[in-house]
Amino acid sequence: MKDLQNIYTRIKNSSDNFLGYPLAKDFSFSEFAPFLDICINNVGDPEAESTLTIDTKEIERKCISFFADILSASINDVWGYVTNGGTEGNLYGLYLARECYPNAIVYYSESTHYSVKKNLHLLNMRNVVVRSQENGEIDYEDLEQVLTIHRDKPAVFFLNIGTTMTEAVDDLSKIKSIIKKYAIKNYYIHCDAAFLGAIAPFVEPKPKFDFSEGVDSIAISGHKFIGGPIPCGIVMCKRAHRNRVANSISYVGTLDTTITGSRNGLTPLFLWSFLEKNGKEGLKQRVVEAQQLAKYTEEKLNDLGLNAWRNNDALTVVFNKPSEKICKKYQLASEENIAHIICVPGLQKEQIDLLLKEIEIESMVKEESLALV
């Protein structure tokens, strides 16, 4: 294929330049190249054997056990599998919620990832969009108001543990206070921790979002903070919810408990390779280093007068949107008048400095042009 080198060069250059998306850059999985010449299919439930044995389910279970540990749960009480990414994880959580409470209403903030609206449409679930606060966190007063209108229906709370644009965290304690205040008996809590799922367990103070807090399901992305060449993720839930949807499939001799039938067997190898080498201490150090870079970025952007800010010690630095030229060159995600830089592992201070220099030069040229008018 003659165009392969051109395609590789284009993607490699783009990978080096992007600053606005949560995709770690510091990984290498070349040791797994031989696996590209065989088909690996983790069909069906990761805990159930299949008549098709070309799988990595044993490794997948190890990944789930690791995340169960950092999410304050016992593998006896929770279950999970490796997904295609955060969207599938959120779809699965909402699917379980619907099976638990078929007539429930889903409450989620306007800052929630765009894919959730699509998931709700696919599942045909009634839902209410709640206002967000300025920092991206859900507006608890608005949630309380809309909730009182539908007190006769079960409630599904779709919480953001790190919103897309500002890395805001919805406060589970406040949600639980509202649940208690209105004596809501039938409810389900799903946490979208796509980016922060591998970060929050090592942050002080630790955001409340794991199974020790009574949540029902959690979705985490694997390719964002951990990194990898193929999008992937983890979805975990209380084991009772998984049991509710399990079906036996004779064709492949296993249980059908996942969204897709055939599932990627390569991504569990990538995830476990990282987790085995780094462990909890490695993840913790990774968080500290990324936070240090985010702090540096925030300070330097403010030195340029760009009103930079972060939610707590977030890795996402929000600032005044620069020119379209700069946004395009550095692949900065933007919304209305703001943009952000996400200080993922592998991003170097030198890359931040290059962006800062360009913003400074552009600002100087603009000032000179105004002076000549």
- List, for residues 176-218, the tens digit of each pLDDT value: 999 999 999 999 999 999 999 999 999 988 999 999 999 999 9
- Domains in the chain: how many in total? 2
Whose CA is closest to 173, among 212, 225, 126, 209? Answer: 209
Which portions of the chain are predicted below pLDDT 70?
A: 1-2, 250-251, 367-373
- Write down which residue in 230, 258, 276 finishes a domain: 276
pLDDT tens string 268-314:
999 999 999 999 999 999 999 999 999 999 999 999 999 999 999 99
Biggest CA–CA distance in the chain, Å, is 78
Q: Based on the domain organization, do 327 and 179 belong to the same domain?
A: no
Q: What pLDDT was estimated at residue 1?
A: 66
- Write down which residue in 276, 294, 328 finishes a domain: 276
Q: Based on the domain organization, do 127 and 259 belong to the same domain?
A: yes
What string of DSSP letters covers 319-334? EE---HHHHHHTT-EE
Domain-located, residue 370 = no
Q: How far is CA 237 from CA 93, 102, 201, 215, 316, in A?
A: 8, 18, 17, 8, 27
Q: Based on the domain organization, do 227 and 327 belong to the same domain?
A: no
- Cis peptide bond upstream of 34, omega within 30: no
Which CATH number belongs to the domain containing residue 311 in this structure?
3.90.1150.10
Q: Based on the domain organization, do 263 and 135 belong to the same domain?
A: yes
Q: What pLDDT was estimated at residue 248?
A: 74
Q: Based on the domain organization, do 78 and 161 belong to the same domain?
A: yes
Residues 6+ apart with CB under 8 A from 103: 126, 153, 154
The DSSP letter of residue 206 is P
Residue pair 141/112 in contact (Cβ under 8 Å)? The answer is no
Show the tokens assigned to 81: 């599998």
Q: Based on the domain organization, do 266 and 319 belong to the same domain?
A: no
Domain-located, residue 372 = no
Domain-located, residue 318 = yes
Residue ranges making up the domain that contains 179: 30-276
Q: Based on the domain organization, do 245 and 300 belong to the same domain?
A: no
Q: Based on the domain organization, do 121 and 203 belong to the same domain?
A: yes
Q: Based on the domain organization, do 108 and 253 belong to the same domain?
A: yes
